Amino acid sequence: MERLELKEIQRLEGHTDRVWSLAWNPVTGHNGVPLLFASCSGDKTIRIWEQNLSSGVWSTKAVLDEPHTRTVRSCAWSPSGKLLATASFDATTAIWENVGGDYECVSTLEGHEHEVKSVSWNASGNLLATCSRDKSVWIWEVLPGNEFECVSVLQGHTQDVKMVKWHPTMDILFSCSYDNTIKVWADEGDSDDWQCIQTIGEPNNGHTSTVWALSFNASGDKMVTCSDDLTLKIWESENIGMQSGGGFRHWRHFCTLTGYHDRTIFSVHWSREGIFASGAADDAIRLFVDDNESQVDGPLYKLLLKKEKAHDMDINSVQWSPGEKPLLASASDDGTIKVWELVSQR
Amino acid sequence: MDDIFDSSLNLEETHHKEGYNQGYSEGLATGKEEARQVGLKVGFEVGEELGFYKGCIDLWVSAIRADHTVFSSRAQAGIRQMEELLQRYPMMDPEDQHVQEIMDELRRKFKMVCSSLHIKKIEYDGYPKAAASDASSLEF
């Protein structure tokens, strides 16, 4: 069997404080468009990074240093790649538009009473979700002229909400929290009637400490979650069609990966090729894949590789790039971002 | 045949009973007064909050009456829902189990309407603030 390794392509410096999160622009990396991603930091700025097509070298394309007055915790590109949403501890979410290579702040979403922790666009790009330390999750509709209107304020979590993420194909929203649960939200009626349709907690084989992040596989029938309880958990659902209100609404525990991390797992991201990466407070990156040779009752996913000392400090975010040959980017408390390539070891 | 020592033998019990009765009636009086003060305070807070919403809604409804395109249809729906919630609030029955439910829903809708109307902050001294999560989650 071939041995794989994560090869560091470049170490990106520029942020002057911890780097919290990064997001690849989904429409880059094919048709001759150079790969591009945004990163956000405790230094209150957002940086746009682009790869040079001929040299392959990464450099800062833009630094967005207004209007956020505190840490920028999370960022997300709209599916069209035209808009960037950034969530900040200043309780606002900013929307940036790429106008001929310049980034212009076209809207500021206000409503949360405390730090905004995460932001996510739905698959069609007409809905945006945000979550906050005020324990609420907000859903916004994208209106013409870069207007955003609040559709619903969702209350249900009993603590800080760490991340919101839309299902890759359906308008179903997922949130995970410091209250150790994952909640599933869907529009139950015909008019803005968003309700919590499932709470995945400890009694359902759920996590026993803060759930930090979640990610879906390409087909959207599996979800991976990572936690302060040092485990990764895989959940499954099916597309049962429109009869009972559409699919991917009810999730079951599939398997738990224990014993791979001994510090908090902050980030997890599933690639379209079926490899999921995890980044943790132990400064290491791990990759997992489906285990075809798994015995009955054996673990259904196996560790593909472990990259020790990937960073000097905690790894806050790991994200696979779009494109035919995905790269992995990692963001860390050490203030740097690293771009990695998965290659065969010689 | 009265025992001349009888009354002195029961002395302790008699005093105990007397003290208990005295304490009970005093406790009853101060407890009642304390409850009255709490009731006044909470009642005032609830009334103030409901009145605040009523004032905002009346103004918004008047604005809509003057120009029905002034707010988005989603904001108008929110305002109507708040109006209904206020009418349903059991003002005269504080022990009704729906009291908290309706108040939570009013607060939720108020946030949504304010956001739709691009109102940054309207509140009064003592407006209930949403409590943040535990301090231990503050940094991240």
Over residues A31-35, the mean pLDDT reads: 92
Q: Is the pLDDT of residue B9 over 80?
A: no
Q: Is the pLDDT of residue A16 over 90?
A: yes
Tell me, what's the pLDDT at A247?
81
Residues of chain A positioned with their CB less than 8 A from the CB of B77? 191-192
A37 touches chain B (CB under 8 A): no
Tell me, what's the pLDDT at A31?
87
Chain B closest CA to A110's CA: distance in Å?
7
| pLDDT tens digits along B91-117 | 888 788 889 999 999 999 999 999 999
Dist. CA B20–CA B26, nearest whole Å: 10
| pLDDT tens digits along A265-289 | 999 999 999 999 999 999 999 999 9
> Could you tell me which residues come within 8 angstroms of residue A60 by beta carbon, excluding any fewer than 6 positions away?
A12, A14, A47, A48, A49
Residue A185, number of CB atoms within 10 A of its CB: 23
Tell me, what's the pLDDT at B28?
96
| pLDDT tens digits along A304-332 | 999 999 999 999 999 999 988 899 999 99
Chain B closest CA to A111's CA: distance in Å?
6
| pLDDT tens digits along B67-93 | 999 999 999 999 999 999 999 999 888
Over residues A246-254, the mean pLDDT reads: 88
Name the pLDDT band for A110 (thresholds 50, 70, 90).
very high
Tell me, what's the pLDDT at A193?
84
Tell me, what's the pLDDT at B119?
87
- The residue that leads in pLDDT, A298 or B42, is B42
| pLDDT tens digits along A220-244 | 999 999 999 999 999 999 887 655 5
Tell me, what's the pLDDT at A333?
96
Tell me, what's the pLDDT at B115?
92
**Contact across the interface for B130 and A136, Cβ inside 8 Å:** yes
Taking only residues 284 to 343 of chain A, the set having a beta carbon closer than 8 angstroms to any beta carbon of chain B reads: none
Dist. CA A249–CA A170, nearest whole Å: 9
Tell me, what's the pLDDT at A325?
86
CB nearest to B116's CB, from A73, A117, A149: A149
pLDDT above 90 covers a percentage of chain A that reads 86
Residues of chain B positioned with their CB less than 8 A from the CB of A135? 130, 132-133
Look at residue A32 and give its three-state secondary structure.
coil
Q: Which residue has the tokens 């979410």?
A: A93
Dist. CA A306–CA A310, nearest whole Å: 9
Tell me, what's the pLDDT at A244?
54
Name the pLDDT band for A172 (thresholds 50, 70, 90).
very high
Over residues B112-128, the mean pLDDT reads: 85
Tell me, what's the pLDDT at A227?
97
Name the pLDDT band for B45 (thresholds 50, 70, 90).
very high
| Cα dist from A56 to A51, A52, A271, A331, whole Å | 6, 5, 21, 19
Look at residue A59 and give its three-state secondary structure.
strand
Read off the pTM.
0.89
Domains of chain A (ranges plus CATH)? 3-345 (2.130.10.10)
**One-character DSSP codes across B93-128:** -TT-TTHHHHHHHHHHHHHHHHHHTT------TTPP
Residues of chain B positioned with their CB less than 8 A from the CB of A73? 140
Over residues A90-119, the mean pLDDT reads: 94
**If residue A72 lies in a helix (H) or strand (E), which one and from where to where?**
strand A72-77
Look at residue A22 and give its three-state secondary structure.
strand
> Strands of A285-290's sheet, edge to edge?
A265-270, A276-280, A285-290, A301-307
CB nearest to B129's CB, from A73, A113, A191: A113
What letter would DSSP give residue B28? H
Dist. CA A220–CA A134, nearest whole Å: 29
**Contact across the interface for A111 and B129, Cβ inside 8 Å:** no
| pLDDT tens digits along B46-63 | 999 999 999 999 999 999
Q: Which residue has the tokens 């590789």?
A: A305
Average pLDDT over chain B reads 88
- The residue that leads in pLDDT, A304 or A189, is A304
| pLDDT tens digits along A293-310 | 766 666 689 999 999 999
Name the pLDDT band for A63 (thresholds 50, 70, 90).
very high
Name the pLDDT band for A156 (thresholds 50, 70, 90).
very high
- Where are chain B's structural domains? 46-117
What would the two tokens of residue A155 be?
């209350």
Cα Rg of chain A, angstroms: 19
